[in-house]
């Protein structure tokens, strides 16, 4: 149990720190709606504020209070699930904690401003992905990891953990 707390505290804190730092830098150095090209038109830093769910998805009436409540409940349920699961595996734990950390990063914005700062814009010509942030990225990566573990099973993850441990001991 103690190891789980360390994983949760370390990864979630790192995600929240990087997310809030990046949002703070963007909001202090750019004006709302400003876009800076980083890699041509493929990757831009575009400062927007999003009252909706990740990637601008509208949930229900789009109410900021509803978003705060739903995100808080989902985060709490994920934390409970994290501590109740019997399976062991760094990959599953890390995926869940990335989701929790990302949700908490966006939840901070929702409680502070009733919306979320987004700034990462990707796309080619008129085919653009909705603007997102570090927290959204962590939630997405975490979901992919958790689905990977659930689909391909704990046995495969255990083999991966063992091979990581063996390769670390070789170093």
The one catalytic residue among 19, 109, 118, 161: 118
- For tokens 């963007």, the residue is 26
118 is catalytic: yes
136 is catalytic: yes
The continuous run of DSSP H or E covering 61 comes out as none
Rounded to whole angstroms, how far apart are CA atoms 75 and 128? 29
Tokens of 96: 């869940």
Torsion of CA 61, 65, 67, 68, to 10 degrees: -170
The one catalytic residue among 19, 109, 136, 161: 136
- For tokens 């789980």, the residue is 4
Rounded to whole angstroms, how far apart are CA atoms 138 and 82? 16
Residues 118/133, Cβ–Cβ less than 8 Å: yes
Residues serving a catalytic function are 118, 136
């Amino acid at each position: 149990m103690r190891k789980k707390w360390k994983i949760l505290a370390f990864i979630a804190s790192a995600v929240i720190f990087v997310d809030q730092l990046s949002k703070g830098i963007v909001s202090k150095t750019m004006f709302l709606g400003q876009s800076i090209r980083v890699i041509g038109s493929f990757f831009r830093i575009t400062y927007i504020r999003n009252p909706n769910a990740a990637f601008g998805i509208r949930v229900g009436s789009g109410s900021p209070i509803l978003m705060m409540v739903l995100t808080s409940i989902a985060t709490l349920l994920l934390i409970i699930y994290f501590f109740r699961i019997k399976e062991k595996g760094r990959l599953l734990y890390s995926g869940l904690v990335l989701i929790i950390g990302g949700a908490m990063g966006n939840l901070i914005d929702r409680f502070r401003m009733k919306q979320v700062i987004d700034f990462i814009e990707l796309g080619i010509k008129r085919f653009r992905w909705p603007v997102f942030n570090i927290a959204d990225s962590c939630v997405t990566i975490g979901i992919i990891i958790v689905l990977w573990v659930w689909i391909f099973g704990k046995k495969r993850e255990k083999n991966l953990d063992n091979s990581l441990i063996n390769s670390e001991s070789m170093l």
